[in-house]
Structure 1
Amino acid sequence: MKTANLRHVIVYDPIPFHGGSKVATLHALEQTNESVLFHVLSAHPQSWQSANLADANEPMIHVSTLPIPNLLATQTQGLAYWLKQGYLVMMLLMYTLALFTRYLQCPSKIVLASGPGVDFAGYVLAHLTRLPAVQLVHGPVGKSRVAKWCLTQAHQTFYLESAKPSLLAALETPFAELPKHFHAFVNGLPQRLWPTNSLVQRQWHHPTVFWAASLLKWKGLDLLVDSLQRHRLSQHLHSNICYIQPEKTSAEVSQANIPVQNCQWHRSPRDLDELRANSDIYVSTSQFEPFGLSTLEALAAGLIVVIPADGAYWDHQLQHGYNCYKYRMNDPESLNQILEHICRNMKSCRRVAINGQKIANLYKARETYRDIADAIQASVTDKVTT
């Protein structure tokens, strides 16, 4: 399709490391049609490596690097934060001008997916250029004047249900409901990336645990390591720990490559799907996960899913002993006991995995992201309905 017939959409990504929210954002972008050309300006271009591996009928995604000086990259408050945002506004303005010069048309929208506050520069660009924005909120929003200003700009905002209380707090609204331009959504998986079925793939020799997340402290790797080290069946239980090393972050992180018996460590593995398909038990140790895309992928792959009883999304959606197993939050001994039970009853626990797969089939990307795709590809004058 000729570029003159395309709608050009900017995707602003100022986060300098990979994460599940970027995967979910990419899945949402791919649900638009081929009339949209996305221009991703990213502080971590590697996060978008799987873009353009989709079918020819899906949108094209061009990725450009957003350079952020190390001195500014980790700044989240004070004068340094404002210097950082001023720099990012300048970079966005230059990028938008470059797109206009190349295609002789203005971008039609900007997609913001890191959260209000983090995406502040994108809101400033939208304000200065009258560019409509589509905001995706993948987790809780911090309460600040910046976040409140962003959220009150009346741009289309899509949020995970777990983020609603923080959105209400950030807006300081006296009402229990959000404004009409806010719409709830859930994540989903595209058919082309549907996980390999471990129940078919797996050769049953020894139980294998699969863990996949970043090393951010709240993801809970330390809990898993503690549990595995005290496991009385450790000579029979193997584990694949797949991790993302956060870069340019001031947040606390866990240590990787700790000696654990029969444990294999994999940093950002390219064969993640294969490692998952050759495992049996998925363990989530994240605390109050806003959604848990890795959990959904594990359910779809037919793994025996183990999650904390923390009141988060999957704790409400799944039933202990029927389509998952739950342990007491922040309790390595409780996790240890669940793993012991599964190891001793692998054959009967396969029914739990099968039931979990049925839940995953309800989360098809073409359905879960339909409203987001419609909002992105709608004309400025179109009214988005949900």
Structure 2
Amino acid sequence: MAKINKTLVFDPIPFKGGSKIATSDALTCSSTQLHQFVVLSVTPDYWESTDFYAKHDVSVIRLFHSGWLIKHHNGPLYWLNQLTLLVQLFFVLCLQGKITKIVGASGPGIDMPLYLAKRLFSFELIQMIHGNVGCSRSIGYCLTNADSVFYLPSARPSMKTALITYLSSLNNIADTEHIAECYLKSANYQSFVNGIPEHRWPTQSEQSLPIFFWSASLLKWKGLDLFIQAARIASTFKPLAMNICFIRPKQTCLPISEAPINLNRHTQWYDDPSNLDEIRANSNIFVSTSVNEPFGLSILEALAAGMCVILPQDGAFWDQQLEHNVNCIKYQPNDPESLSNALLLAAHDPLLCQLCQTHALDIAKQFKAEYRYMKFAQCLNGAGVTHLVSSLDHS
């Protein structure tokens, strides 16, 4: 009989976002026979609604947190928050018996308690990184002590900077840039891009009339204000029908856009709707307004739904993957006039929209989760990766 691994998933993020969805999708790709999972999360309701929870042996434990402390990203109050999370993690590790692996679902700066616990407990630490990491010695330390690191390619430069920052603080390290590259090129570090599992593949958009769809959190950098400004400009030439879905972030010190607001009678607002897939299927033009998105899971979902995608020409992942007027429509980032022109182009040129929609699905088929998360699933299932040579171990 195959050995059952007891794996803990650590999730201290207080709101649902693309990284949390991507993590649950990746975990779903692991074997249902080899694992018993424990999810320690501040959002247990989210995990209990996932396909991962339905198909795997998963128990969910609530992680309590301070909405005040979680807003601090450095200094004494940051470390106080990490200490409160560490105490809870400590009790869970003691009560759950032998935990063989722990998945850090958010990034080393947020998953810091795992690295503190690693000094007291014996487990394999698998770190997922869904965006840029901070430039600090402590994060660099974490990156040198994780057993496996799975990261989006856009995060690599910031990871290298954090590694150099930590390695430079060690007296016996001379060429820190070379050593940082050695870490990043080792088998312990694996880049990945997100995918969509079969069970979550979006319903195909059947809408023929131009209906625009925007979906993201209300964090300012996601660009809802830009979309509203551009839509108002475009509406002076042609009324636009729009479905706007938003998630209101909790316990954050980052700027947040206001929603809903009064636009026109053709605009529908949805606050974290449970029928997001249905709303997307009843639209046919997806608008992305966040600049330098580390990946853009919502863009992939729109492509998979066969939508015409409008996105900024910002050099980010999807800007590099997609071609203007072939499988998407592009505009100049943070430019409401340019975005307005893109909206009007999509509204007035149905043939171009249909061309983009046809090609969109061909692109999306290359991003099936079962393939994109294969290495992560193999690592969870026990395939493992080659450990860094001892000469690189400065812990």
User: TM (normalized to structure 2)?
Assistant: 0.89
CA displacement at 1:125 relative to structure 2: 1.6
CA displacement at 1:53 relative to structure 2: 6.3
CA distance in 2, matches of 1:286, 1:27: 22
State the SS of the aligned residue for 2:341.
helix
User: Is 1:19–2:17 an aligned residue pair?
Assistant: yes
CA displacement at 1:236 relative to structure 2: 3.7
CA displacement at 1:308 relative to structure 2: 0.3
The aligned counterpart of 2:101 is 109
Residue correspondences, number: 370
CA distance in 2, matches of 1:341, 1:71: 45
State the SS of the aligned residue for 2:177.
coil
- Residue in structure 1 matching 2:316, options 312, 317, 322: 312
CA distance in 1, matches of 2:136, 2:317: 25
The aligned counterpart of 1:189 is 196
State the SS of the aligned residue for 2:113.
helix
User: Is 1:244–2:247 an aligned residue pair?
Assistant: yes
Question: Deviation per CA, 1:132-188, whole angstroms, max 9, x where unpaired?
Answer: 111111001110111111101142001111111111111114135614111111100
Residues 290 and 166 (structure 1), Cα distance of their counterparts in 2 relative to 1, 3 Å cut: same
Amino acid across the alignment from 1:238: A
Amino acid across the alignment from 1:42: S
The aligned counterpart of 1:69 is 66
Contact residue 17 and residue 47 of structure 1 kept, 8 A: no
Alignment of 1:343-382 (within 5 A): 343-378=347-382, 382=384
The aligned counterpart of 2:137 is 145
User: TM (normalized to structure 1)?
Assistant: 0.92
CA distance in 1, matches of 2:74, 2:149: 24
Question: Deviation per CA, 1:300-333, whole angstroms, max 9, x where unpaired?
Answer: 0011000000010000000000000100000011
User: Is 1:324–2:328 an aligned residue pair?
Assistant: yes
Contact residue 228 and residue 234 of structure 1 kept, 8 A: no
CA displacement at 1:62 relative to structure 2: 2.2
User: Is 1:296–2:294 an aligned residue pair?
Assistant: no
CA displacement at 1:73 relative to structure 2: 2.5
CA distance in 2, matches of 1:275, 1:13: 28
Question: Deviation per CA, 1:181-229, whole angstroms, max 9, x where unpaired?
Answer: 111111000001100111xx33x3x311111111111111110011111
State the SS of the aligned residue for 2:134.
coil
CA displacement at 1:47 relative to structure 2: 3.0
The aligned counterpart of 1:91 is 88
State the SS of the aligned residue for 1:174.
helix
State the SS of the aligned residue for 1:297.
helix
Amino acid across the alignment from 2:294: P
CA distance in 1, matches of 2:228, 2:378: 43
Question: Deviation per CA, 1:210-260, whole angstroms, max 9, x where unpaired?
Answer: 111111111111100111111136764211111111001111111110111
What's the Cα RMSD here?
1.9
Amino acid across the alignment from 2:49: S
Amino acid across the alignment from 1:293: L
Alignment of 1:32-51 (within 5 A): 32-34=30-32, 35-51=34-50
